[in-house]
Structure 1
């Protein structure tokens, strides 16, 4: 199922992939691509033909018949060689922020320091960069690289997890930030850490549950946030839409992130998994859906053939939807037969 305008989103996402496939970085990515028969030219021709079918088919049934006739569906082997893929969702958080620190706005997001290329490895841990309580301030190696301050420590952390954010500033202006680099650590999920420590049950674990837990137990942020040593730096994006790892904008419900050492960048894919939507009562329900998507992003937690992260847009509803997704499904790539 889709909503009005969904077809336009799909067309827009296809056009962004075609833009990427015309770049030198796409040429290089496909020169190194490990799977025989999957070439940049074939991916590009597949997108152009799929777009033609989308634009000119008279009925959904006619469109689907043509796709099945003209395209091959390559299924990802998943994490078990049986095709099982684990799905999560990501989004652009919208929070309050300030360009200056105040007693209320104390938790900074940082630019990448100018001397970052000279930092010794292993890089400093999260606790060494911001303190166990997030308030290391002038003592931090990052002092002087602050970009903006937030009221809530968990909100600042969640912008790092999502890789971008939109901030409603105290002066009434809007500021957007995007990924600007990271320290050299793998990602650790604090939600999984809470489950491991039996603080919350595995069943029903979601972003709203995690937020509720830390609102009820704020001091535990000092214990759990430092467990994720991967620290994200930001740059101001001047209102531009969030971009994926391919350098093109990501489209809500139509862009996915996968492991780009394995999966074809910019390619057309089909995912089959439950996706949450608001029903007529304003409640989230998650029907099993099959959706055409474009592979346009990656992430530090997205490793192997059995992981997909679905981009769901910005704001609270997108966050609630993204926070619900933690289940399995299937992933297929569509390529023209010839």
Structure 2
């Protein structure tokens, strides 16, 4: 899984309070009282089928805006067509075949010329609706946002551009299927699993010669680390897309939350802009704070992205990031929430595809919305910190059997 996450790739996020260097926004006092990051008990499923029709949401509004929805479905189907995809199923009781056929039939519905109201009726007739159990076992989900930044950079180091993004070390070893970091290969061919943390990597000199590109601002370089990908404007006017290549395997720790802990920012003021403003006013504080996060991300040149953890392009407000250990990859999802991304709360009722992973997205009550590329996406992602609901849409067993019998004939 090269190019893995992201538009903002594997670490995603703005999350954890909208985590990470980033983009949290509008953290509310209720976040201190609610455990949005509560993990599932061993063996528990993240999804629960809704059996009461009265609890199934109305999808009509979502069908009134289907821009790029078919494209997003096609991206998921392309991923599911790869032999390696099947090994990650079943997840929460959902099989690879269920997800694949559900997407195929949903695309056919979209292309059938039905009205939004008719599509709503057809979807409710043919699809089962699964709610995530959420952080509270009642389906409540905290939505945050992520995006792809655009920063100035250079392929060569000079007096201005002196903060590097690094390529993978040549002795880096990862699982060829999952992309999980295994360690560093020793001269005798064995693997050392004790990968150095961020501070040791930067101070040891082991990354010298592995510089991919240089940025002008250490905080911007860290934002790229958090987001996992970026579009970089080079001095000659060209642009370079960089994306996730791997990690040192250390657990992610939020820079933003570390700043709150140290009294540098108030939780309610935590967002990407306030973080960057603080360190530009207090540059001497940056290295000490960033050292609290041992995770380090490596990059590679990309094109055609940004990409999610499925190694498929992510699409603005059609792609989401969830915990892929408990949610079925590539699935069709319906998101319903009051989102404050544009300054005031607006009702979001939208079909999206589960196509990405976040380092801070590790629970059934967490989801990251992909807001796109650039400054406006940064603003929207940074302000997204709202509760809502998330539903997975899977063909009913009777529909699956009908499709199978049709193929057999």
TM over 0.5: yes
Partners of 2:156 and 2:214 within 8 A in 1: yes
The C-alpha deviation readout for 1:192-234, integer Å capped at 9, x for no partner, is 1122233222224222222222222222212211111110000
The C-alpha deviation readout for 1:128-176, integer Å capped at 9, x for no partner, is 2225xxxxxxx52100000000000000000010010111001221111
1:87 and 2:128 correspond: no
1:184 and 2:285 correspond: no
Alignment correspondent of 1:109: 165
What is the Cα deviation at residue 90 of structure 1?
1.1
Matches of residues 105-144 of structure 1 in structure 2 within 5 Å?
105-117=161-173, 118=184, 120-131=192-203, 140-144=205-209
- In 1, the alpha carbon distance for the partners of 2:262 and 2:392 equals 38
Q: 1:69 aligns with which of 117, 121, 125?
A: 125
What is the Cα deviation at residue 277 of structure 1?
5.6
- In 2, the alpha carbon distance for the partners of 1:204 and 1:271 equals 26
- In 1, the alpha carbon distance for the partners of 2:340 and 2:195 equals 38
The C-alpha deviation readout for 1:86-115, integer Å capped at 9, x for no partner, is 222111110000000001001000000101
What is the Cα deviation at residue 276 of structure 1?
4.9
1:243 and 2:302 correspond: no
Task: Name structure 2 gaps, 5 residues minimum.
Answer: 1-60, 174-183, 186-191, 398-409
The C-alpha deviation readout for 1:248-293, integer Å capped at 9, x for no partner, is 1111100111111110011101112233565xxxxx4341312111
- In 1, the alpha carbon distance for the partners of 2:276 and 2:295 equals 20
What is the Cα deviation at residue 67 of structure 1?
1.5
- In 2, the alpha carbon distance for the partners of 1:277 and 1:327 equals 9
The C-alpha deviation readout for 1:17-44, integer Å capped at 9, x for no partner, is 11111111222222xx2433x2222211
- In 1, the alpha carbon distance for the partners of 2:230 and 2:100 equals 31
**Higher RCO (CA-CA < 8 Å; seq separation 6+):** 2
Matches of residues 310-329 of structure 1 in structure 2 within 5 Å?
310-329=369-388
- In 2, the alpha carbon distance for the partners of 1:267 and 1:145 equals 37
Is the alpha carbon distance of 1:228 and 1:143 closer, same or farther for their aligned partners in structure 2, counting shifts above 3 Å?
same
> 1:227 aligns to what SS in structure 2?
coil
Is the alpha carbon distance of 1:213 and 1:288 closer, same or farther for their aligned partners in structure 2, counting shifts above 3 Å?
farther
- In 2, the alpha carbon distance for the partners of 1:293 and 1:152 equals 34
1:18 and 2:82 correspond: no
- In 2, the alpha carbon distance for the partners of 1:248 and 1:276 equals 28
The C-alpha deviation readout for 1:3-26, integer Å capped at 9, x for no partner, is x9x623111100111111111122
1:307 and 2:366 correspond: yes
Task: Name structure 1 gaps, 5 residues minimum.
Answer: 132-138, 279-283
Give the alignment's Cα RMSD to 1 decimal: 2.0
What is the Cα deviation at residue 60 of structure 1?
1.7
- In 2, the alpha carbon distance for the partners of 1:166 and 1:130 equals 23
Matches of residues 149-160 of structure 1 in structure 2 within 5 Å?
149-160=214-225
What is the Cα deviation at residue 74 of structure 1?
0.5
Alignment correspondent of 1:135: none
- In 2, the alpha carbon distance for the partners of 1:99 and 1:307 equals 37
- In 1, the alpha carbon distance for the partners of 2:294 and 2:394 equals 39
> 2:267 aligns to what SS in structure 1?
coil
Normalised by the size of structure 1, how large is the TM-score? 0.89
Q: 1:35 aligns with which of 65, 88, 92?
A: 92
Equivalent residue pairs, number: 321
> 1:273 aligns to what SS in structure 2?
strand
Normalised by the size of structure 2, how large is the TM-score? 0.74
What is the Cα deviation at residue 82 of structure 1?
2.0
> 1:300 aligns to what SS in structure 2?
coil
- In 1, the alpha carbon distance for the partners of 2:96 and 2:338 equals 30
